[in-house]
Structure 1
Amino acid sequence: MSARASSVRVDTDARLVVQVWLGTRLLLLITAVLVALRTGRRLPNLLGNWDVAHFVAIAKNGYAVQTDMAFFPGLPLVLSLAYRVGADPVIWGTVLALVTSALATWALYRIGGRWAAIAWLLAPTSVFTLVPYSEAPFCAAAFWAWERATRKHWGAAAVLAGLACTLRVSGLFLVGALAVLAVSQAWTARRASGLVRSLPWLLLPLGVLASYAVYLYGRTGSWTAWFSAQAAGWKREFTWPWDCVRNSWRSLQPGMYADHPEWVWIFRAEFLSMIVGVLVVIVLLLRWRVPEASWVGVQVLAFSISYWFQSVCRAVLLWFPLWTLIGEFVEPRTRGAWRWFWAVVIVVALTVQVGWSVLFYLGMWAS
């Protein structure tokens, strides 16, 4: 392929990804507007359900409630700027999510190509990359940290990982996976000296995590304040994996939640997401992609030692190796009858995406 043809191909691929990003964002926003018109509620109220309320409360009042300490301070700090300029923090956070979802898409495009980025944009739980949740900004920081680290730009990777560590505890898992990547790079190059140029950089994001732990200790006198908040608010306390599976299996049985029938379907999706996570780890290990397997595997492990599988459907958004695997599968299968197959898949994906967003907008549990 000539340089000119290659350039045209890249431009076409990038344009397609931008179009899908714009189309999915518009679809989610139009759905929100339609729900607002039907229910008579204000748009910020629809976009501000569930964890958004916690982020906004922290932005306004600080960690006044003990369970709010389960949320890292990065997003609330950004939302607090809205109060300084007289803006609605929910709308402010939605704009932030739009921008950072675009940055995350760009990074994923660089990591795994057009179909990886498109698959991520079509994820069922994409509504969480539109509203003021930490998913979009975390993915932007984490994906770019990985992209920079794979190109051995460890200084930039460390800064981005540090930013990710202000947003979610998943930043700790990111640092661990980056360490595995650094070792893998040194092993491949047969030069241990490479570790001297990479691993020390990871002290920066670890310092960010340590700073939050010290801050919570100063407020509560406990080094386990974050874990206590998780346990008090969401039953996220240490549970043996077999008990976690048993509790999760019980939660998805028919008739478990007669007053909230959608809960059973969400629990089923959580269970399915865990299965997907395990399969992704197995596939990555079989392909000797150990750094990526460590990124997904440590999260699957963390979910398996909680009371039950919870928030896994949202965590799938963080698993960039899943989306790169999908992209690798799709790339050689885009001609002939495959086009019709993928057209059906896209329609189904968008339908599920809209349905999931409606659950969130209506204040129903959506993971």
Structure 2
Amino acid sequence: MAITGAEQRTDRTAVLAPAVIYLAVRIVGLLVLAVMAAHDGTTLGERLASWDGDWLLAIARYGYAGVPASHLDAFGNHTPITPYGFFPGYPLAVSAVGLLTGGNLVLAGLVVSLVAGVVAAYGLTALGTLVPGGSRRAGLLLVALFAAMPMAVVLSMTYTEALFCAFAVWALVGVLREQWLLAGLCAAGAGLVRPTGNAVAAAVVLAAIVTIVTHRATWRTWVGGLLAGAGIVGYLAYVAAQAGRWDAWFRIQREGWGWYFDGGGGTAKYVAAVLADGERLFDVAIVVALAASVALFVVMARTRVPWPLLVYAFVVLVTVWGTEGLMNAKLRLLVPAFVLLVPVAVGLARRRPSTAVSVLVGVALASAWYGGYALTIWPYAI
């Protein structure tokens, strides 16, 4: 039977929907940021490649050993091992794409983030169909919510979040589909991009162990489980070898950037201070988001979300809540916790289309303004 033109258009629309939804939300954010940057006397390009993006692009251009001494850590210092605080996955991808952009690494970095964000969108769409009560509609709503997270602006910057989330979501999809090689390879990739790769590795390894213990494993299960932690463990070992001590990466983070795990003491003090006398919008928003992250995790647990997603979310939240450091960056660090939005997406999918659209328009506009505010007005947001 011949396929009509209308059917072809419908199929094409269905295929493109995740990318179109993701890009539409992010374009709104970029337009608002461009207006706010112009008002601030800077350009959109400057804002998208600022802060850590500058470090990552320098590593992509010069390698770890060649990063200029003008690049200083949070305390105004630069040592031979300072650049190793940044994981290699994103700089390597930027360097490779830079071959196609004539050496323009800013453009290459933005392309990597753009493509990775679209890849993540397709993974989120698939994830939305694999959870209890899920559907393709829920998956598409999950894409929109992800693109409109409070600090989703980093997904469009020369930052690691988009690439990490692409690896992470497809690793989780691989686990739920029992496609172990996909899960293991993506988990290894995530571990080369951000330290949050520990959450992906934990989810994949534990799922593989359960499969092995219940006698349902194949050789792919074993390989996927072994691959899952290879990225993050391999890089930490590499940094240890370069610096001559086993805890080198953790030492760089603490002494160069002020980040270290304290069991949540620093976060608790910050939250208490903001609740007691917080007057700044950004601080209040961070506390609200931190509280919402816990509430959403409880909702996940109560709505029978597959346990590997709970493991992933739990490790991400423990890392965010339990780490001392720049508290204003906590909202950015919550971007990889995209699985917390799964129950929201499933719930919205059951509402009338007009309700879902109204909610998405509202959060997209709020995210656009918030991202612009974070990059042009607030001094230390990312």
Alignment of 1:213-228 (within 5 A): 213-228=236-251
Question: Corresponding residue for 1:70?
Answer: 85
One-letter amino acid of the counterpart of residue 83, structure 2: D
Q: Would the alpha carbon gap of residues 366 and 169 (structure 1) be closer, same or farther in structure 2, given more than 3 Å must change?
A: same
Question: Corresponding residue for 1:19?
Answer: 20
CA contact (8 A) 1:14 1:114 kept: no
Q: Would the alpha carbon gap of residues 13 and 270 (structure 1) be closer, same or farther in structure 2, given more than 3 Å must change?
A: farther
Instruction: Work out the CA distance in 1 between the residues paired with 2:109 and 2:22.
Output: 18
CA contact (8 A) 2:184 2:223 kept: no
Shift of 1:269: 2.8
Question: Corresponding residue for 2:159?
Answer: 133
Shift of 1:184: 5.1
- Is 2:190 aligned against 1:164? yes
Instruction: Work out the CA distance in 1 between the residues paired with 2:150 and 2:261.
Output: 28
Instruction: Work out the CA distance in 2 between the residues paired with 1:221 and 1:267.
Output: 39
1:166-209, Cα deviation, whole Å (9 max, x unpaired): 1001112101011233345567xxx3242764244222232222
Q: CA RMSD in A?
A: 3.0
CA contact (8 A) 1:277 1:296 kept: no
One-letter amino acid of the counterpart of residue 173, structure 2: E
- Is 2:375 aligned against 1:352? no
Q: Would the alpha carbon gap of residues 238 and 156 (structure 1) be closer, same or farther in structure 2, given more than 3 Å must change?
A: closer
CA contact (8 A) 1:158 1:204 kept: yes
Q: Would the alpha carbon gap of residues 357 and 244 (structure 1) be closer, same or farther in structure 2, given more than 3 Å must change?
A: closer
Q: Would the alpha carbon gap of residues 15 and 243 (structure 1) be closer, same or farther in structure 2, given more than 3 Å must change?
A: closer
Give the 3-state SS of the residue equivalent to 1:352 in structure 2: helix
Shift of 1:42: 4.2
Q: Would the alpha carbon gap of residues 240 and 161 (structure 1) be closer, same or farther in structure 2, given more than 3 Å must change?
A: closer
Question: Corresponding residue for 1:297?
Answer: 314
Q: Would the alpha carbon gap of residues 248 and 236 (structure 1) be closer, same or farther in structure 2, given more than 3 Å must change?
A: farther
Give the 3-state SS of the residue equivalent to 1:133 in structure 2: coil
Give the 3-state SS of the residue equivalent to 1:167 in structure 2: coil
- Is 2:380 aligned against 1:365? yes
One-letter amino acid of the counterpart of residue 302, structure 1: T
Question: Corresponding residue for 1:97?
Answer: 113
For this pair of structures, how many residues does the alignment match? 350
Question: Corresponding residue for 2:56?
Answer: 55
- Runs of 5+ consecutive residues of structure 1 not aligned to the other structure: 257-263
Shift of 1:243: 4.9
Question: Corresponding residue for 1:269?
Answer: 285
Q: Would the alpha carbon gap of residues 283 and 168 (structure 1) be closer, same or farther in structure 2, given more than 3 Å must change?
A: same
Alignment of 1:270-349 (within 5 A): 270-288=286-304, 289-307=306-324, 309=327, 311-335=329-353, 339=354, 341-349=355-363
Question: Corresponding residue for 1:177?
Answer: 203
TM value normalised by structure 2? 0.80
Instruction: Work out the CA distance in 2 between the residues paired with 1:72 and 1:231.
Output: 15
Instruction: Work out the CA distance in 2 between the residues paired with 1:101 and 1:197.
Output: 28
- Is 2:167 aligned against 1:152? no
One-letter amino acid of the counterpart of residue 107, structure 1: G
One-letter amino acid of the counterpart of residue 118, structure 2: A
Q: Would the alpha carbon gap of residues 317 and 240 (structure 1) be closer, same or farther in structure 2, given more than 3 Å must change?
A: closer
1:2-51, Cα deviation, whole Å (9 max, x unpaired): xx9x9998876655444322312322333344345444534431211111
CA contact (8 A) 2:94 2:108 kept: yes
Give the 3-state SS of the residue equivalent to 1:194 in structure 2: coil
Shift of 1:226: 1.2
Instruction: Work out the CA distance in 1 between the residues paired with 2:59 and 2:374.
Output: 21
TM value normalised by structure 1? 0.83
Shift of 1:312: 3.1
Instruction: Work out the CA distance in 2 between the residues paired with 1:320 and 1:10.
Output: 27
Instruction: Work out the CA distance in 2 between the residues paired with 1:35 and 1:287.
Output: 40
Question: Corresponding residue for 2:221?
Answer: 198
One-letter amino acid of the counterpart of residue 117, structure 1: V
